Amino acid sequence: MIIKHQEKIASPEIIQSRYEALGYICSNSVATAIYLACHLQKPILIEGPPGVGKTELAKITAAYLNAPLIRMQCYEGLDESKALYEWKYGKQLLYTQVLKEQLGDVLRGAKGLDESITRLHEFGDIFYSQEFLEPRPLLQALQSEDGAVLLIDEIDKADQEFEAFLLELLSDYQVSIPEIGTVKAVSTPIVMLTSNNTRELGDALKRRCLHLYIPFPDAALESRILATQVEGLDAQLREQIVAIIGKLRDMPLKKSPAVSETIDWARALLLLNVAELDSHWVKETLNLLLKFQDDIELVEPEIAALLKSLR
C-alpha cells in the first residue's frame, strides 16, 4: 500500500496541504506522525481529549489514500469473536450433513480399522478452514488486497485482556487462529488507535506504536478550522467564537467544549442569523457547548464578563 501512494506521502508538508484541501486542518506534528506511520509501517496511537479530530483523522487518511476505512469501536467486554473472526456455524452444520452422507462411500471396501482411519485422514476436511470463516474488522484489514486504514476507536474503553490480544497484530501485522494457524497481512494496513485517556494503556501496546497527542487547538488553528468547516461565517463573529471557546476551556468545567462542539455552535449561530455575540444568544445556545447542567450554571453568571473581555 505504501509503494502505491509514495507520491501522496512524499513529505509531511504534502500531507498537511492535501489534508487541508480535503477540509481537515492539522498541525505540523499531526502531518509528521502520519508521514512516519506510513513509511515506518508502524501503528499510531492517537490520544487527546474527546472531539479534537482523532477519529476524523483516520477517516480523512482513508479518503486521501483511496483506501477502505475499517472501523472497530471498542467497548468493555469486546472479544476476538467480535473483533477478529467467527465461524459460520450454519454452513458448518450443513457440511457435517454432507460429510455424513459421503462417509459410506469413503469407507466402502476398507479392510480393518487402520485402513478406515487412513481413508478418513485422506478425505479433505474443511470444517475449520477459510471457507467457513466470517472475518471481523481485524481480519478484514489483514485480508484487504490493496491495503486499508484500520481504525481501532477508543481502545481505552476495551479491557486490558483485549489490549494484550492486539499485540501480535500491532507488532507483526498477523494474527493467530488456533484452528487454522497464523494469518499474515496480504498488504500492510495503516493502523490507527484512538484513546480519550479514560484509563492508562499498557506499556506493551505503547511500545508498538508511534504516539501522537492532539490537544485542543490554539486560537489561530481553531479559526482556520472554522473558516474551512463553516462556510459563510463572518470573520469578526468567527474570532469572537474562538475567543469565547478559549476562555471557557480555561474554566474548571467537567467537560470543556471540543472542536466539534465549536463547529456546531458556529453553524447554529449562522442559522440563527447572529451577526455579533451578545449575552442573549450566548445564553440561549450555551447547551450546544456545555453538556453538563453544573457547567452551564457555572458559566451563565460569567457571560457578561466573558463578552466584555472581548472588547
By residue count, the chain amounts to: 311
Q: Which residues contact 171 (CB under 8 A, 6 or more apart)?
A: 208
pLDDT band at 128 (very low <50, low <70, confident <90, very high): low
Between 42-56, 92-106, 126-140, 270-284, the lowest mean confidence (pLDDT) is in 92-106
For 59-91, write each residue's pLDDT tens digit.
Answer: 999 999 999 999 999 999 998 888 988 776 666
pLDDT band at 183 (very low <50, low <70, confident <90, very high): confident
Closest CA to 310 of 241, 216, 231, 230: 241
What's the rounded Cα separation, in Å, for the pair 242 and 83?
40
pLDDT at 127 over 60: no
Provide the pLDDT for residue 240.
Answer: 95
For 259-290, write each residue's pLDDT tens digit.
Answer: 999 999 999 999 999 999 999 999 999 999 99
Integer CA distances (angstroms), 289 to 184, 241, 255, 292, 295, in order? 45, 11, 9, 9, 10
Question: Angle 206-207-212 (CA atoms, 0-180°, nearest 5)?
Answer: 50
Locate the domains of the chain by residue range.
6-76+143-173+183-213, 85-131, 219-310
Provide the pLDDT for residue 124.
Answer: 56
Closest CA to 277 of 253, 247, 306: 306
Selecting from 3.30.70.150, 3.40.50.300, 3.30.360.10, 1.20.1420.20, what CATH number does the domain 6-76+143-173+183-213 have? Answer: 3.40.50.300
Cell 487402520: give the residue.
114
Provide the pLDDT for residue 68.
Answer: 95
Closest CA to 220 of 198, 250, 205, 242: 242
Q: What are phi and psi of 274, to 5 degrees?
A: -80, 125
Q: Which residues contact 119 (CB under 8 A, 6 or more apart)?
A: 106, 107, 110
**C-alpha cell recorded at residue 289:** 457547548
Q: What is the DSSP string of 151-213?
A: EEETGGGS-HHHHHHTHHHHHHSEEEETTTEEEE-SSPPEEEEEE--SSPPPHHHHHTSEEEE
Closest CA to 200 of 155, 167, 151: 155
User: How distant is the alpha carbon of residue 133 from its chain centre?
Assistant: 24
Provide the pLDDT for residue 176.
Answer: 87
Provide the pLDDT for residue 112.
Answer: 63
| HSE-CB for 286 with a 13 A CA cutoff | 21
DSSP SS3 for 46 = strand
Cell 494457524: give the residue.
181
* 163 or 107, which is more confident: 163
Cell 440563527: give the residue.
272
Provide the pLDDT for residue 80.
Answer: 83
* 111 or 139, which is more confident: 139
What's the rounded Cα separation, in Å, for the pair 154 and 210?
16
Kindly state the DSSP code that residue 71 receives in the 8-state scheme.
E
Cell 456455524: give the residue.
89
pLDDT band at 120 (very low <50, low <70, confident <90, very high): low
Sequence letter at residue 265 = W
Dihedral, 18, 19, 23, 26 alpha carbons, nearest 10: -130
For 197-240, write each residue's pLDDT tens digit.
Answer: 989 999 999 999 999 999 999 999 999 999 999 999 999 999 99
Mean pLDDT in residue range 124-130: 60
Mean pLDDT in residue range 3-18: 86
**C-alpha cell recorded at residue 57:** 483523522
pLDDT at 92 over 60: no
pTM over 0.75: yes
